[in-house]
């Protein structure tokens, strides 16, 4: 380690622990000195510090050594007392405040921790700490328990102007005027005196002074008197380079010329005087005193005998004195003498001697329990050890001991603790034990918050400078220090420390810490009136989600207050409140494609594209590269998004409130730039280039502005998220750029958010292109075009399945030019269907009714039925300027569920724009269809008559409250005749189906075509009973016409949607079940009943296989079984109703069990679709077609239950025959019965195979080319005949 | 049970991933940030001490006035830091060990990204229960 004396602590000690010279002077002396702007002490001070005095010193030992450094401290006698605490505090406070002002202005914050550490150490550590520490130590001077502040000598100064200077000298050292410390015995009043006569050369000639000097020498002795002549310069203009007095007069004004009357000779004279005073008088005096004291101490305390005596003596004293400060020692007590000896030795640099004396006295003080003195001695021992650089451990131990002892004294030793701590910390710092030093600084903190603040700040720097740097601790102590500063109203210091801590906490996730720091800095800046800076810091804490509700409220309130105080609206680029979800940004703009509603805009683009695929002219949708499109469209039009002047661009943005408290957001609007198209400037009426001005000058109401921006106000509850739609409407052609969004928080702060460099998730209406995100927000505004607005009137949002309802589509054209060539495509033709224009004003539901007298025209509409949901409006239809067009639509709620409806309408404009020739209008509706009636049909053949069928209809009302009135059941087509088996009144007297009620009805269905053998004899249409009235029979109300539009059209849609051919198959029958709902009370204003139609398609009976047969024969026979077995002849009539040649194979089984077995085999081995009577049921179909599979299952069951007596089929067990198309054959069958009983003759099966005559005629039948049929139950009763022959 | 206790799990990147005030004393608004400050400052000491011993429990390593910081360092250098005002070293040690087990269970969760915030409410209740038991 370097020489301890050259360390900061060493230097400080050599400066502070030096002999004190008491100065006594007359007013004239002061007056003369003040001519130079200096007091006497200030005048002399620069010459009291000797860096190389080189004086031989001989203390206790005989070996002299040379003293190099020496310093005298000069004090007026009035200052030799313990400094006033309050004054000292005030002075320190002033020092700190001054530094605070100075540093605050020039402080520059390092933003990064690395920058912080890269600076040199001297720069990092504020220099004022040392100054402050020195001042702090000085507040403790002249304490009564220490001897190094005792005056060693007294300098008496008298001016030559004084009357009778010799007497004045005597007067000066009058005991009454001496400091109290000297008088009350704490200090030795018998000190060396030195007499100085000061002669001001301006006052007169020098010779008078020499005479006075001679008088003095006579009076006080030859050696102790001296004279100084000064103020030799007459004009006072001498300017000293490197002014030696500057450090000693801190409050000097810069303009003041210190020492102006002192020329070089004067300075030399003063210097020589001080040197002589030190080397010739003070040092020898001290040497001598040391020697004397040492001798005294040796005599009384050294040696074994003295020690025993001392110990015994002290033991005796123990009980008597117990004052808190220990016993009072006067200067001439032996303890004080030892202390003086030690301090003198210390001051003269004889540390060994000092240490031995300190050791000696410390045990004494300890035994006496004079704790303050003990601590003082321990402190000095520590310092001595340090300067000797011998034992670090001892030094530290002594310092700690002293520190703790002072601490034990409580408030009395408070300031001593501080001083001791400072020295200790300095000592540790010198030895690079910075961490320990920091702890010591921390321990110094006491009652005085201001001092604590400084100590804490010093501690923080210790942590920063330690290796490796302890940044966390650094930050923490800075913050602690800042808090203390704040408590003492040193706001500038507080801000400074907090700001220094920011780099440590930058980017930290310790959120509470970060909030605390920024919030307080903000608050304090606001206190200083620096609102701008305050706001920037407050912004950091604004979106603190983790804080409690009250804290969030506090933050927001303070922030708004500060903003208010600034008196202007702040524009903050990254305002965190509310949070904008940039990824949620959606730009909705309309080029060719326009939306009727906001709902339509939210639908996926691909859905629309697939819908519009075949109605948009392909040349624009998908251009051939061979076509020179650039001729038609300039390149830039293709590259940027197009929007139309006068039409609004919509931007959806999500705002989120991260806090728990509600916030109000107002004036949310887009920031846009619109510059008129430079190429079209010439003919554009508005040449003005609208640039950034638009950002500020846009208001929603200003018609003349080129941009119309919407403004939205909303408030967000805690944690709420809301999507806001903002619009911008360009009014002139040009290029529009959406720059960002701005909003006002609590009508105080304006937040801005730029979209520029954020990825934008667009929902574009135009072509998709790969662009940089910034160009996504750039739009080419073209001349205004006609834009149709569409609306469907009275489309219900919620309805019951089956609802049939006329609607009106209204298309209005607000522009100045007509549109034509309208086409419409509907995504779901089962639900919506375009009608004829003449139906527009038709009376509903009367228009659906059958008109008996009118020639059926319904089929005509179906002939030119549009293909694939595409509806062309008639050629002559166009929407003229500023008119609207109404078009009827039919609505039918086909299936229950949530049904989205997409409608797109294509139209063309005439010669308005070269860029856009057509546009589409997209409409989107969502329907909620509730289940209403569950209708199922079950068809079975009448075994006896193959042309007649039994129809069972089951209807269940599934609604919870509605009551349906059944109206009619109709079969579609003309080949079926339907009739009720029993009057409806008997099963449903009220004719209405209440909620939850179910109804079963039986009908007779007759195939009219089969019933008549020849095709020609089809009765006239009017006689066909294809409809059955289920309502009141006496009602003359007409049937609904299921064969005309719209019922027929909807029925076709139903069929096609279920994957069936539109052409009805001859073996299958479709039904339409129509009910009515009387809405008297609720929403419907009219009392016209709602019509509900339910469609069932392709009902077919199980046995409607192409082969049908009948077993005919006797039912009951009587037979005498004593005779040969009874033979029964039966006849089987087999009919082939198909158009193919059928080969039929009849197998008979005698054993019922084997029969059973075979059936099971047949059902398992054959795929279900080959079994007759099965048909796939579509899932969407709500009207279930139940076909009986019971036939197959019932038979085995019955067989197993009954124990059937044996009978056998006689003849061949297998018969094979071929049937021509539409022919009938008869086969004789015979059984043999052995015992009387009832027999079930169903144990036979029919295998049939179809060989089609010509392909393609019956596609539906083609796959059903073979089948297996189980025999019917045919019960034969055989009785024992009683008569015998 | 101690009147004041603040438990924080700090990831190896010095990011707090779990925080809980587990003291029985009424929660004070300003205390929470003081606790964070003290614990944050103690990270420096942990940094020094963690490599001087093979034990995971570092005992009381730092103090601020009457608040003591006890630290437990896992093998992955995740630090469990407890700020407390009582001197129950055994209890604290057991507390740390049990929390370590819980933390390992959290780590075993394949959906948990090490170093991210622990949001499991189950973990939270368990830690609080342990705090009641041991502290």
Band of pLDDT at residue A871, cut at 50, 70 and 90: confident
Mean pLDDT, range A264-286, rounded to an integer = 83
Q: Which of B15, B32, B43 sits opposite A472 (nearest CB)?
A: B43
First-residue to last-residue Cα distance in chain B: 5
**Each residue of A346-364: pLDDT tens digit?**
888 888 888 888 888 888 8
**Structure tokens that stand for A1007 in this block:** 């195939």
**A476 in contact with chain B, both atoms CB, cutoff 8 A:** yes
Whether a cis peptide bond, with omega within 30° of 0, leads into A1046 is yes
A510: closest chain B residue by CA: B16
Residue A1087: predicted pLDDT: 56
**Each residue of B82-94: pLDDT tens digit?**
988 877 888 889 9
**Each residue of A193-236: pLDDT tens digit?**
888 888 877 777 777 778 888 888 887 877 778 888 877 777 66
From chain A, the residues in CB contact with B32 under 8 A are 512
Residue A254: predicted pLDDT: 57
Band of pLDDT at residue A500, cut at 50, 70 and 90: confident
What is the pairing mode between strands A1090-1099 and A803-813?
antiparallel
**Interchain proximity A463–B36, CB inside 8 Å:** no
Residue-range definition of the domain harbouring residue B88: 5-134
From chain B, the residues in CB contact with A548 under 8 A are 29
Mean pLDDT, range A1246-1264, rounded to an integer = 59
B8: closest chain A residue by CA: A510
A471: closest chain B residue by CA: B44
Residue B122: predicted pLDDT: 92
**Interchain proximity A472–B40, CB inside 8 Å:** yes
**Lowest mean pLDDT segment, chosen from A618-632, A1195-1209, B49-63, B120-134:** A618-632
**B104 in contact with chain A, both atoms CB, cutoff 8 A:** no
Residue B108: predicted pLDDT: 93
Mean pLDDT, range A67-76, rounded to an integer = 82
**A456 in contact with chain B, both atoms CB, cutoff 8 A:** no
Mean pLDDT, range A593-610, rounded to an integer = 79
Range from A751-765, A886-900, B118-132 that averages highest in pLDDT: B118-132
**B41 in contact with chain A, both atoms CB, cutoff 8 A:** yes
From chain A, the residues in CB contact with B38 under 8 A are 476
Look up the ipTM and state it: 0.93
The tally of domains found in chain B comes to 1
Percent of chain A residues topping a pLDDT of 70: 75
- Per-residue pLDDT for A926 more than 90? no
Mean pLDDT, range A170-187, rounded to an integer = 71
- Per-residue pLDDT for A113 more than 80? no
**Interchain proximity B29–A470, CB inside 8 Å:** no
How far does Cα A887 stand from its chain's mean position? 49
**Each residue of A182-194: pLDDT tens digit?**
766 667 777 788 8
What are the residues whose beta carbons fall under 8 Å from the beta carbon of A737, sequence distance 6 or more? A672, A673, A674, A777, A778, A779
CB pairs under 8 A between A and B: 40
Mean pLDDT, range A1228-1255, rounded to an integer = 76
**Each residue of A827-849: pLDDT tens digit?**
888 888 787 777 777 777 677 77
Band of pLDDT at residue B72, cut at 50, 70 and 90: very high
Question: Which of A649, A648, A653 lies closest to A724 in space, CA to CA?
Answer: A653
Query: Bridge-partner residues for A1074, per DSSP?
Result: A968, A1093
A549: closest chain B residue by CA: B29
Residue A1171: predicted pLDDT: 40
**B119 in contact with chain A, both atoms CB, cutoff 8 A:** no
Asked whether A1279 and A1118 are in contact (CB, 8 A), the reply is yes
**Helices (H), ranges, A19-110:** 27-34, 40-44, 85-106
**A1130 in contact with chain B, both atoms CB, cutoff 8 A:** no
When computed from its CA atoms, the radius of gyration of chain B, rounded to whole angstroms, is: 14
A514: closest chain B residue by CA: B33
Q: Which of B14, B36, B45 sits opposite A512 (nearest CB)?
A: B36
- Per-residue pLDDT for A1154 more than 80? no
Residue A410 gets which letter from DSSP?
G
Asked whether A513 and B36 are in contact (CB, 8 A), the reply is yes
Asked whether A522 and A558 are in contact (CB, 8 A), the reply is yes
Mean pLDDT, range A253-273, rounded to an integer = 74
- Per-residue pLDDT for A375 more than 80? yes
More confident residue, A1111 or B68: B68
Question: Which of B35, B70, B68 lies closest to B49 in space, CA to CA?
Answer: B70
Q: What pTM does this model have? A: 0.67
Question: Which of A726, A737, A899, A917 lies closest to A826 in space, CA to CA?
Answer: A899
From chain A, the residues in CB contact with B16 under 8 A are 509-510
More confident residue, A584 or A175: A584
**Each residue of A657-707: pLDDT tens digit?**
888 888 888 888 888 888 776 554 433 333 333 333 333 333 334 444 677
**Residue in B30, B37, B83 to test binding to A, most A beta-carbons within 10 Å:** B37
More confident residue, A538 or A322: A538
**Structure tokens that stand for A4 in this block:** 């301890």
Alpha-carbon gap, residue B37 to A402, rounded angstroms:
31
**B63 in contact with chain A, both atoms CB, cutoff 8 A:** no
Band of pLDDT at residue A1197, cut at 50, 70 and 90: very low
Asked whether A739 and A671 are in contact (CB, 8 A), the reply is yes
Residue B42 belongs to domain with CATH number: 3.30.450.70
Q: Nearest CA of chain A to the CA of B61: how many Å?
A: 13
Q: Which of A513, A548, A551 sits opposite B37 (nearest CB)?
A: A513
Alpha-carbon gap, residue A947 to A1066, rounded angstroms:
12
Residue A317: predicted pLDDT: 53
**Residue in B44, B51, B81 to test binding to A, most A beta-carbons within 10 Å:** B44
Residue B99: predicted pLDDT: 92
**Each residue of A962-1010: pLDDT tens digit?**
888 888 888 877 777 788 877 767 777 777 788 878 888 888 887 766 5
From chain B, the residues in CB contact with A476 under 8 A are 37-38, 40-41
A464: closest chain B residue by CA: B44
Mean pLDDT, range A558-586, rounded to an integer = 79
**Structure tokens that stand for A585 in this block:** 């940004």
Mean pLDDT, range A371-391, rounded to an integer = 84
Mean pLDDT, range A506-510, rounded to an integer = 79
Alpha-carbon gap, residue A405 to A374, rounded angstroms:
8
pLDDT averaged over every residue in chain A: 73
Percent of chain A residues topping a pLDDT of 90: 0
Range from A586-600, A805-819, B113-127 that averages highest in pLDDT: B113-127
Neighbours of A154 (CB within 10 A): 21
Range from A135-144, A931-940, B9-18 that averages highest in pLDDT: B9-18
């Amino acid at each position: 380690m370097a020489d301890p004396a050259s360390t900061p602590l060493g230097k400080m000690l050599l400066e502070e622990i030096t002999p004190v010279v008491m100065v006594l002077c007359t007013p004239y002396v002061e007056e003369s000195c003040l001519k130079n702007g200096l007091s006497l002490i200030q005048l002399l001070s620069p010459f009291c510090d000797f860096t190389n005095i080189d004086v031989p010193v001989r203390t206790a030992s005989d070996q002299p050594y040379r003293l190099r450094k020496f310093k005298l401290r000069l004090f007026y006698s009035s200052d030799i007392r313990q400094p006033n605490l309050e004054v000292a505090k005030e002075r320190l406070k002033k020092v700190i405040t001054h530094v605070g002002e100075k540093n605050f202005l020039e402080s520059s914050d390092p933003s990064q921790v690395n920058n912080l550490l890269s600076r040199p150490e001297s720069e990092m550590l504020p220099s004022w700490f040392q100054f402050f520490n020195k001042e702090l130590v000085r507040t403790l001077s002249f304490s009564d328990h220490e001897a190094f502040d005792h005056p060693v000598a007294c300098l008496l100064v008298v001016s030559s102007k004084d009357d009778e200077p010799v007497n004045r000298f005597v007067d000066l050292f009058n005991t009454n005027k001496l400091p109290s410390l000297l008088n009350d015995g704490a200090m030795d009043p018998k000190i060396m005196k030195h007499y100085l006569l000061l002669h001001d050369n301006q006052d007169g000639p020098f010779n008078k002074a020499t005479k006075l000097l001679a008088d003095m020498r006579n009076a006080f002795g030859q050696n102790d008197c001296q004279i100084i002549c000064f103020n030799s310069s007459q004009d006072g203009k001498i300017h000293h380079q490197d002014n030696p007095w500057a450090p000693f007069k801190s409050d000097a004004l810069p303009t003041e010329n210190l020492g102006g009357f002192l020329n070089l000779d004067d300075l030399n004279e003063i210097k020589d005087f001080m040197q002589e005073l030190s080397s010739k008088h003070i040092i020898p005096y001290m040497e001598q005193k040391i020697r004397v004291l040492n001798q005294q101490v040796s005599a009384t305390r050294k040696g074994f005998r003295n020690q025993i005596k001392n110990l015994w003596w002290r033991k005796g004293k123990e009980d008597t004195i117990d004052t808190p400060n220990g016993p009072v020692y006067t200067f001439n007590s032996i303890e004080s003498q030892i202390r003086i000896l030690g301090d003198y030795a210390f001051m003269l640099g004889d540390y060994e001697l000092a240490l031995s004396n300190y050791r000696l006295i410390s045990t004494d003080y300890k035994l006496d329990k004079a704790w303050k003195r003990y601590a003082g001695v321990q402190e000095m021992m520590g310092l001595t050890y340090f300067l000797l650089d011998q034992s670090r451990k001892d030094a530290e131990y002594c310092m700690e001991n002293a520190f703790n002892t002072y601490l034990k004294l409580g408030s009395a030793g408070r300031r001593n603790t501080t001083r001791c701590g400072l020295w200790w910390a300095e000592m540790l710092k010198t030895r690079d034990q910075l961490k320990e030093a920091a702890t010591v600084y921390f321990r110094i903190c006491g009652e005085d918050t201001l001092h604590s603040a400084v100590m804490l700040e010093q501690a923080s720097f210790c942590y920063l400078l330690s290796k490796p740097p302890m940044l966390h601790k650094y930050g923490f102590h800075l913050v602690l220090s800042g808090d203390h500063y704040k408590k003492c109203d040193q706001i500038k210091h507080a801000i400074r420390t907090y700001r220094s801590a920011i780099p440590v906490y930058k980017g930290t996730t310790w959120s509470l810490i970060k909030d605390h720091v920024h919030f307080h800095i903000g608050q304090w800046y606001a206190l200083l009136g620096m609102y701008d800076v305050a706001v920037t810091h407050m912004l950091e804490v604004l979106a603190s989600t983790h804080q409690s509700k009250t804290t969030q409220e506090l933050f927001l309130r303070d922030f708004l207050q500060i903003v208010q105080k600034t008196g202007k609206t702040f524009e903050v680029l990254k305002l965190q409140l509310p949070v904008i979800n940039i990824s949620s940004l959606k730009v909705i703009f309309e080029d060719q494609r326009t939306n009727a509603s906001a709902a339509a805009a939210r639908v996926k683009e691909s859905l629309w594209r697939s819908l519009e695929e075949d109605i948009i002219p392909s040349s624009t949708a998908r251009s051939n590269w061979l076509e020179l499109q650039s001729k038609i469209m300039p390149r830039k039009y293709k590259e940027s998004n197009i929007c139309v002047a006068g039409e609004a661009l919509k931007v959806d943005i999500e705002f989120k409130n991260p806090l728990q408290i509600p916030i109000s957001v107002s004036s949310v609007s887009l920031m846009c730039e619109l510059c008129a198209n430079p190429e079209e400037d010439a003919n554009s009426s508005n040449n003005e280039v609208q640039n950034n001005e638009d950002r500020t000058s846009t208001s929603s109401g200003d018609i003349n502005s080129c941009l119309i921006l919407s403004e939205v106000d909303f408030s967000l509850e805690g944690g709420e998220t809301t999507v806001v739609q903002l619009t911008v409407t360009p009014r002139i052609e040009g290029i529009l750029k959406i720059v960002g969004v701005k909003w006002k928080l609590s009508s105080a702060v304006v937040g801005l958010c730029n979209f520029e460099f954020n990825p934008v998730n667009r929902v574009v209406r135009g072509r998709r292109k790969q662009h940089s995100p910034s160009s996504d927000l750039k739009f080419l505004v073209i001349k205004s075009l006609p834009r149709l607005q569409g609306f469907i009137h009275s489309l219900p949002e919620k309805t019951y399945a089956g609802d049939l309802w006329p609607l009106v589509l209204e298309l209005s054209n607000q522009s100045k030019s007509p549109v034509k060539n309208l086409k419409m495509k509907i995504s779901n033709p089962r639900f919506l269907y375009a009608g004829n224009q003449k139906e527009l004003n038709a009376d509903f539901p009367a228009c659906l009714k059958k008109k008996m007298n009118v020639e059926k025209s319904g089929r005509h509409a179906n002939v030119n039925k549009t293909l694939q949901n595409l509806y062309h409006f008639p050629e002559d239809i166009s929407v003229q300027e500023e008119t609207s067009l109404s078009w009827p639509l039919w609505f039918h709620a086909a299936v229950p569920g949530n049904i989205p409806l997409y409608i797109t309408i294509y139209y063309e404009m005439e010669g308005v724009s070269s860029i856009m020739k057509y546009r589409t209008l997209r409409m989107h509706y969502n329907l909620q269809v509730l289940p209403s009636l569950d209708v199922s049909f079950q068809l079975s053949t009448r075994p006896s008559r193959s042309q007649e069928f039994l129809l069972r209809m089951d209807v269940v009302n599934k609604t919870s409250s509605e009551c349906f009135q059944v109206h009619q059941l109709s079969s579609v087509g003309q080949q079926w005749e339907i009739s009720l088996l029993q009057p409806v009144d008997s099963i449903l007297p009220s004719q209405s189906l209440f909620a939850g009620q179910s109804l079963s009805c039986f009908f007779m269905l007759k195939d009219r075509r089969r019933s008549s053998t020849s095709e020609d004899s089809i009765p006239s249409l009017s006689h066909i009973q294809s409809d059955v009235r289920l309502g009141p029979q006496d009602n003359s109300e007409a049937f609904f016409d299921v064969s005309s539009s719209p019922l027929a059209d909807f029925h076709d849609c139903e069929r096609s949607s279920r994957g069936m051919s539109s052409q009805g198959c001859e073996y299958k029958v479709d039904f339409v079940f129509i009910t009515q709902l009387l809405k008297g009370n609720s929403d419907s204003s009219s009392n016209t009943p709602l019509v509900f139609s339910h469609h069932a398609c392709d009902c077919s009976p199980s046995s409607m296989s192409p082969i049908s047969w009948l077993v005919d024969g006797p039912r009951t026979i009587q037979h005498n079984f004593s005779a040969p077995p009874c033979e029964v002849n039966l006849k089987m009539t087999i009919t082939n109703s198909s158009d193919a040649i059928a080969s039929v194979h009849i197998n008979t089984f005698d054993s019922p069990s084997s029969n059973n077995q075979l059936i099971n085999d047949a059902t398992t081995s054959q795929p279900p679709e080959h079994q007759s009577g099965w048909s796939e049921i579509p899932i969407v179909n709500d009207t279930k077609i139940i076909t009986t599979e019971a036939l197959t299952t019932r038979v085995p069951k019955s067989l197993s239950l009954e124990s059937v007596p044996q009978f056998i089929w006689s003849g061949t067990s297998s018969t094979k025959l071929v049937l021509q198309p539409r022919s009938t054959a008869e086969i004789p069958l015979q059984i043999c019965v052995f015992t009387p009983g009832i027999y079930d003759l169903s144990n036979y099966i029919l295998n049939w195979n179809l060989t089609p005559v010509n392909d393609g005629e019956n596609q539906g039948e083609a796959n059903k080319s073979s089948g297996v049929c189980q025999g019917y139950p045919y019960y034969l009763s055989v009785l024992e005949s009683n008569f015998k022959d | 049970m101690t009147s004041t206790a603040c438990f924080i799990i700090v990831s190896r990147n010095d990011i707090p991933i779990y925080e809980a005030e587990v003291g029985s004393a009424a929660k004070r608004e300003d205390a929470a940030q003081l606790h964070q400050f003290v614990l944050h400052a103690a990270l420096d000491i942990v940094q020094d001490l963690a490599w001087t011993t093979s034990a995971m429990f570092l005992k009381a390593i730092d103090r601020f006035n009457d608040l003591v910081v006890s630290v437990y360092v896992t093998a992955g250098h995740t630090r469990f830091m407890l700020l407390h005002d009582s001197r129950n070293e055994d209890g604290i040690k057991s507390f740390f060990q049990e929390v370590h087990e819980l933390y390992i269970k959290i780590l075993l969760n394949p959906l948990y990204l090490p170093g991210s915030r622990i949001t499991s409410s189950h973990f939270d209740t368990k830690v609080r229960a342990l705090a009641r038991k041991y502290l």
